[in-house]
Amino acid sequence: MKSTFRQLTLAAVLGTAGLLASAGAFAQSIVVASTTSTEQSGLFSFLLPEFKKASGIDVKVVALGTGQAIDMARRGDADVLFVHDKVAEEKFVADGFSAKRQEVMYNDFVLIGPKADAAKTKGDDIVAALKKIATANAEFISRGDKSGTHAAELRFWKMTDTDANKGTGYKECGCGMGPALNIAASSGGYVLSDRGTWLNFKNRADLAVLVEGDKRLFNQYGVMLVSAARHPQVKTAEGQKFIDWVTGPAGQAAIASYRIGGEQLFFPNAAK
């Protein structure tokens, strides 16, 4: 009888310990508000298991357009912000929603379009290519979602003399990078994409990279810890561990090692 009682007591203790351990593991988690390109490129699926092994911390990524991700972080609904619109990121810091912005990695934007390229855009000049698209009234799919890619696209249009008249083929989808590429693939349209999402995109149909190599297509990513002074619920310690890892040697090496078809998608530059 005593033996049975001891066994039941031990089982109860172990069960309680297991519940406490589970509760502790659940507490070790953060929310990262990020852009669709980091998710749809497959980068986070590759990085986060490595971070979990190193830290024991789970990361839930909410992938939105950069503008929406910043809004989410401003509301305090995320612990970390990881996006690619430097001007908007610096304003986020200046407004007191984070103490600092750290650079993490970069890649580039590319103009995608039909291989036949009726608008004759092919080359290394994004501004000239957009002028040709407008003049030809060719279909151009704009994300129209206040994302980092959309912000870059609008900057490029402003550099043209056709910004006020982008042609009758200009359409805003109000969607993420993957859906925008799908629309372009089904309609034979042009679209600006980050290279990472393009390399991971399977439904290419007749699309190809037409414009690349223009230094204006440089695409920098930054990471910020949301301010606990603004939002006390922010998991500062866990969020900082993620930032330290992704900008440190292990995270930077993991970013550099992520490839599709042998091609590197992102280039770490936190040290710089």
pLDDT of 260 > 70? The answer is yes
Quick one: what percent of the chain has pLDDT higher than 90?
Answer: 87
d(CA 184, CA 149): 15
Question: Residues 202, 69: one domain?
Answer: no
- Pair 96, 116 in one domain: no
β-strands 218-225, 102-114 pairing? antiparallel
The closest alpha carbon to 153, from 133, 183, 123, 179, belongs to: 133
Q: Are residues 167 and 100 in the same domain?
A: no
Task: State residue 272's pLDDT score.
Answer: 61
Question: What share of the chain in percent tops pLDDT 70?
Answer: 90
Are 147 and 212 members of one domain? yes
- Convert the pLDDT of each residue in 165-212 to its tens digit: 999 999 999 999 999 999 999 999 999 999 999 999 999 999 999 999
User: What is the rounded CA–CA span in Å between residue 28 and residue 58?
Assistant: 6
Asked whether residue 22 carries a pLDDT value surpassing 60, the answer given is: no
The verdict on 17 and 95 lying in the same domain is: yes
The predicted model gives 214-238 an average pLDDT of 97
pLDDT of residue 231: 98
Mean residue pLDDT of the chain comes to 91
Domain termination residue (choose one: 177, 198, 217) = 217
At residue 271, the pLDDT reads 79
Q: Which residues contact 271 (CB under 8 A, 6 or more apart)?
A: 252
Tokens of 257: 């090692």
Are 60 and 88 members of one domain?
Answer: yes
Per the structure, the complete domain to which residue 124 belongs is given by 107-217
**Residues 232, 209 share a domain:** no
* Statement to judge: residues 46 and 92 lie in one domain: yes
61-80 mean pLDDT = 96
Query: What tokens were used for 8?
Result: 């039941």
CATH of the domain at 180: 3.40.190.10
Q: What pLDDT shows up at residue 11?
A: 47
- The verdict on 41 and 165 lying in the same domain is no
**Pair 179, 127 in one domain:** yes
According to the model, what pLDDT value does residue 17 have? 44
Question: Of 127, 128, 135, whose CA–CA distance to 156 is shortest?
Answer: 127
Q: Give the number of domains in the chain.
A: 2
Q: Which among 217, 236, 258 is the end of a domain?
A: 217
Domain shared by 102 and 8, yes or no? yes
DSSP single-letter state for residue 160: S
Q: Does 213 share its domain with 245? A: no
Better pLDDT: 214 or 3: 214
